[in-house]
Amino acid sequence: MQGQMMTFKLVTFNLLNKPSRWHDRRKLIVREMAELQPDVIALQEVSLPHNNAQWLADQLGGYTVHTSPKTGALARHEAIATLSRLPVEECRTLNLMAQSRVAQALRLRVGERAVVVVNGHFMFHVYDHIKRTRQVQRVLNWLRLAAASYPTVACGDFNATPEMRTIQMMKESFSSAYETKHGHEPDYTCPTPLVYRFNAVRKGLSTIGNLIAYRQPEPWRGTLDYIFVDGNFSVLSCELVLNAPAPDDPTLYPSDHMGLCATLALPAQ
């Protein structure tokens, strides 16, 4: 607590659920998370059944792990998860009804106040797809019905760029923490210059995909990851994190996504 304000630090990060270079990437993730010391870590593309979110928590120490698998057959392979050093009073999984996607809603105790944190991984589509908009509307409807009395943070991989309906809808109810501090969204959060194994094949497929989707051969980059806060919060800081290569290997990054880290404050009561 600082004066009459309580603060906590939150990171959102897509781990990239691909085995390529994971044993090298995870060292970068642990090292930076240990430096950041976030109170809450919202993760997307968590690998199952081995649950690399639990592995990360074990390395860092002091976190409880709350895992929400995808729906259907994908429940055996991928999840989202939230790590918390704050007391967790409740955790719910919200079925987003398309592409087996889910969101997670946790009620945390920040000092004497209960706060809701939503961690979501929304539908992937290169266009402004109506199903993704419906997923966000589903989360917003749940918040209005079940969490209207709590200060709320909504974060994750929205798979939507700032001009899309998904993000415009979020900004009708919330403020982007990064935009609040910097006056604009990041230039991009995905992809990083991570080089995969078998990268020649991936690069060829990526070029074809870009020609089909965007009519240009250059690799696509965009802002897909966000931390949104309601009017209860003051944003003390919000920065891109997990966005630097390994010191000895410029092709190795923690993931294909960058992370976001925000320090948030709210009145004690």
What are 8-17's pLDDT values in tens digits? 999 999 999 9
pTM of the model: 0.92
Q: What is the pLDDT of residues 225-262, one digit of tens each?
A: 999 999 999 999 999 999 999 999 999 999 999 999 99
200 pLDDT above the threshold of 50:
no
Question: Which pLDDT band, with edges at 50, 70 and 90, does 4 fall under?
Answer: confident
What would the pLDDT profile of 31-81 be if each residue is shown by its tens digit? 999 999 999 999 999 999 999 999 999 999 999 999 999 999 999 999 999
Report the DSSP pairing between strands 113-121 and 152-157. parallel
pLDDT value at 215 more than 90: no
**Structure token digits, residue 37:** 């010391």
Check if the beta carbon of residue 7 is closer than 8 Å to that of residue 264: yes
SS (H, E, C) the chain: CECCEEEEEEEEEECCCCCCCHHHHHHHHHHHHHHHCCCEEEEEEEECCCCHHHHHHHHHCCCEEEEEECCHHHHHCEEEEEEECCCEEEEEEEECCCCCCEEEEEEEEECCEEEEEEEEECCCCCCCCHHHHHHHHHHHHHHHHHCCCCCEEEEEECCCCCCCHHHHHHHHHCEEHHHHHHCCCCCCCECCCCCCCCHHHHHHHHHHHHHHHHCCCCCCCECCEEEEECCCCEEEEEEEECCCCECCECCCCCCCCCEEEEEEEEECC
Maximum alpha-carbon separation in the chain: 56
The size of the chain, in residues, is 269
Check residue 223 and give its pLDDT: 98
What average pLDDT does the chain have? 93
Q: Determine the average pLDDT of the residues in 195-201.
A: 66
Q: What percent of the chain is modeled with pLDDT above 70?
A: 91
| Residue 269: band (very low, low, confident or very high) from pLDDT cuts 50, 70, 90 | confident
Whether the predicted pLDDT of 205 surpasses 60:
no
Neighbour-count burial of 27, counting CB atoms closer than 10 A to its CB (0-12 exposed, 13-18 middle, 19+ buried):
middle
Average pLDDT over residues 143-161: 97
pLDDT of residue 1: 44
pLDDT at 171: 98
52-60 helix and 22-36 helix, angle to the nearest 10 degrees:
40
Query: Residue 197's pLDDT band (boundaries 50, 70, 90)?
Result: confident
In percent, the amount of the chain with pLDDT more than 90 equals 88
Q: Identify the pLDDT of residue 3.
A: 55
> Residue 113: beta bridge partners?
110
Dihedral, 40, 262, 53, 113 alpha carbons, nearest 10: 20
Nearest to 228 by CA among 265, 179, 186, 176: 176
| Residue 210: per-residue pLDDT | 46
Q: State the pLDDT confidence band at 217, using cuts at 50, 70 and 90.
A: low
What fold does the segment set 5-267 form as a domain? Deoxyribonuclease I; Chain A (3.60.10)
